[in-house]
Amino acid sequence: MSRGNFYRRPASDSQPPADSPEGRDIGANDHLVPGGQPHIRNRPVKRQAVPAPPPRPEYGGVMAHGVWTEAADRAQAQDPGSETARERLTIAAPSMRGMQHVIPPPPAPIPVIITEVPGGTQRLNTGAFLRYQVPALGSPPVRIAGRDPARTMLAVLNEDSEYAMRLALFPGDLAADAGGTTGLAVGGALLPAAMGSYLRLRTQSEVFATTTDSSNTAYLSVIIEYEIEAGPR
C-alpha cells in the first residue's frame, strides 16, 4: 500500500437503532416523523349510553289508542296461540284501516239579502191611528197630517155615507169657489163617501181636508205609518 492511500471500511447494510442519535439523524425514529405513530397514547374510553328510566306499564284503559306495544311482541313470541296483548287491543280498539271517511254533501246555500247597512241605530216601524171631524166647505180646513220625512204611508177613510170630502196639500186650495157654485172648492182631490177600504197615500207633505157640503161635517179615519230610532244595535 502506497503512501497517501488509505483503507476504506465497507458500509454495513444494517441500520443503527431507531432510538440512537444515528437513527434519529437518518429518520429511523417514527416518533419524530410527521404522520408517524404517536409515542404517547391515550387510554381507550368505553362509550357509555345515556341512562333511561324504566318503561311505564302498559295502559289498557278507556283511552288506550291500540298501539302494539313491546309487551305484546314478547307475548306473541313466547306463546303464539294465547290471547296476546295485540289481540286484546284489537278487540278493545279495532283498527280503522280500510274504513273510508265519507264526506257529507255541503248544505244548500241560503240566500241572504242585506236590507240595512251594519252598524248605526236600529229603526222601528210604528204608526198612529186618528179620527178627525172634517169641517164644512167654506170653513178653515183641518190638517190631517203634517210634514214628516219619516212617514212611509198615509191611509184615509171617509166614514160618512152621504157627504164626500176633498183633500189638498195647501189650505187655499180648499176654499169655496168664488164664482158662486155651491158644493165646489177651488182645488183639491175628491174623497168619495161610503168608502169600503182605506185609500193609501205615499206623501210626506202636509194634507188638509174639508167636506163638499157647506153646512155639514163628516168624520175621517187616518192611519199614519213612520219610522223611529229604537236605539243602538
pLDDT digits (tens, 9 = 90+) for 121-148: 677 889 999 999 999 988 999 999 999 9
Over residues 9-30, the mean pLDDT reads 66
**pLDDT value of residue 97:** 52
Could you give the maximum distance between any two Cα atoms of the chain, in Å?
Answer: 189
Question: Which residue's C-alpha cell is 229604537?
Answer: 230
Whether pLDDT at 27 is above 70: no
Higher pLDDT, 90 or 30: 30
Q: Locate the domains of the chain by residue range.
A: 123-232
**pLDDT value of residue 187:** 83
Q: Which of 4-13, 17-26, 187-196 has maximum average pLDDT?
A: 187-196
Is residue 201 within 8 Å of 155, Cβ to Cβ? yes
Give Cα 22 to chain centroid, integer Å. Answer: 92
Domain 123-232, CATH among 2.60.120.770, 2.60.120.10, 3.40.190.10, 1.10.287.1080: 2.60.120.770
Whether pLDDT at 34 is above 90: no
* Residue of 168, 170, 173, 163 whose CA lies nearest to 217: 163
Query: What is the amino acid identity at position 225?
Result: E
Name beta bridge partners: 157. Answer: 221
Cell (9 digits) for 78:
313466547
Render the burial of 53-87: b for 16+ CB within 10 Å, e for the rest.
Answer: eeeeeeeeeeeeeeeebeebeebbeeeeeeebbbe
Whether pLDDT at 1 is above 50: no
Q: Collapsing DSSP states into helix, strand and coil, what is residue 104?
A: coil
Is residue 89 within 8 Å of 68, Cβ to Cβ? yes
d(CA 123, CA 47): 82
The per-residue pLDDT of the chain, averaged, comes to 75
Over residues 24-33, the mean pLDDT reads 63
Q: Are strands 151-158 and 218-232 parallel, antiparallel or unpaired?
A: antiparallel
